[in-house]
Structure 1
Amino acid sequence: MTDLVSHRFDAIGTRWSIDTSLPLDASLVEAVADRVERFDRDWSRFRPDSLVARIASTAGRTILPDDAPGLLDVYRRLYAATDGAVSPLVGRTLSDWGYDEHYSLVPAPRISSVPSWDDAISWHGRSIETFRPVTLDVGAAGKGYLADILSALLSRAGVDEHTVDGSGDIVHRAPRALRVALEHPRDATKAIGIVDLSTGAIGASASNRRVWRGAHHILDAVTGRPASAVIASWAIAATGIEADGLATALIVGDPSRLAEHFDFEWVRMLADGTIERSAGFTGQIFAHQTVADRISAHRAAAHEGAA
């Protein structure tokens, strides 16, 4: 797409853009706004009038919106592939850490543990039964899923070539590849690499966003604490929900386990600056030490020592 036109808006706590070759007509702009509002009203844990807020208030059975089965499928696979480290049940624990509806950013004296899936809920398609009041949080994959939903809405309206960007979680549908920079998690003016995204999606996750008083918004649901070993990750997949969810999972999970459940490529940066990437990643990594570099250096040093 050349000479792109951007439709920009704020949604679910971040900045969005939809890039197309022609401006969206007024009815389509309204349809996008309506669909975003519906998604937020259903899934936001920051709104007192949301479905998530109602579920959190009491245990029982609730009929979920028609987009729920897609969320269930991806979350259940992420939960299994990370041994519970990625979970939609982290909402209460995130609130205790200070990432609550008031954005207090002040951790509570006691941090609630994240309940296990089968002990807390039974979720089948559009029906969820909670055995106790629980606060759902779909932030691990929600931006990517909303990008998918908006992409499908555009396609149904005849806008087949488009890019939906939710602040780094991107769904791209166009013949020409989109060049995406991988932002350095410790310096937003730099990139650690680039990737050319063909039709598909890329998700990004980093612990330098939404940071406060020694905490951040990416929790390991097993420990109930902010993740620390991995500080940034990127996942490339067919859909936005998978790319977004996998980027989160790469912060707390084992890539080889994730590859048993999903088809994707990935890059991630560890806390010591080491960069790991999948064997099939075709982008460019800049002058940073990767795991492969470390292995080569170690072998060279061993060879010199043996000579």
Structure 2
Amino acid sequence: MSFAGAVARFNDAAVRDLAWLLFSPDLLSASHAGAPLACPVESDKRAAVSGWLEALDDNPEALHALVRKPSLRRLGLYAEALLEYFLTHGPNARLIAANVPLRAAGQTLGEVDFLLHNARRERLHWELAVKFYLHIGEGAAALSDYVGPNLQDRFDLKHDRLLHHQLGLSARDEFASLGFEGPWRAELFVKGRLFYRQGAAPTLPPELADDHLRGWWMTVSEWQESKGDEAFAVVPRLAWLAERSLSNEEAGTLTFDAGALTSPTMVANYDRSAGDIWRERSRGFIVPDEWPERALRYARLTTT
């Protein structure tokens, strides 16, 4: 079964998001990521995990209790809660600890996302990142050409911090003193989607997986000129993971005025041929007309 099929068959939105987190392609290439990549579902455990998700889809109340807390307003926290539920209750691993703060001399050095034992009883340290970057520029791409929609994040900077700070936390002497018996194998768990200007096909940097999830982006002017009679709706931030189908009523609450957009906004293009159900065709960002110039400056910004 394809990745899309493995996710779309679940009815509950939170279960679909969890399936997306487990089965979606990695953003990073296993051969050039700079560190081992996490494997949340081993090939011989795929059927067991799928069956567990099917049962969860029938009775998702316990999952909802964890991931629908009012305090989980950030997408990263929502994704962490999903993965914590899987590691706590799923058939593939056993959670040892989550969100372990590391302090020294009264200062917080960082936080270890997940410690777990996999099915082979290996001690693993996972650092989770779920990222949505827009590619800016032309020609051969570098990781620095992938920028966050609000220009407060960049893929090369995130990648560097994961490799040279986050993954090393579980190997520090201060961490050993917390009582978690090691050593821990530190692995990257990086999922998400990368968005390319409509019609662009840059040469990918070696760090990226060839099969990473893709979307498109357009300026407001470009979108208004090309949209025709196509149906679009805003994708709320906590719905950025798995694809969504909408009822007519739901779609009506997510309409937008592109001319009034002041910041990049994720939208989905929908097929309305199925009566009262809007089925998602693609994901993209609509950005203000001046955004590409600012984004290019941010991509070229040298940091120290």
TM-score, length of structure 2 as denominator length: 0.25
TM-score, length of structure 1 as denominator length: 0.25
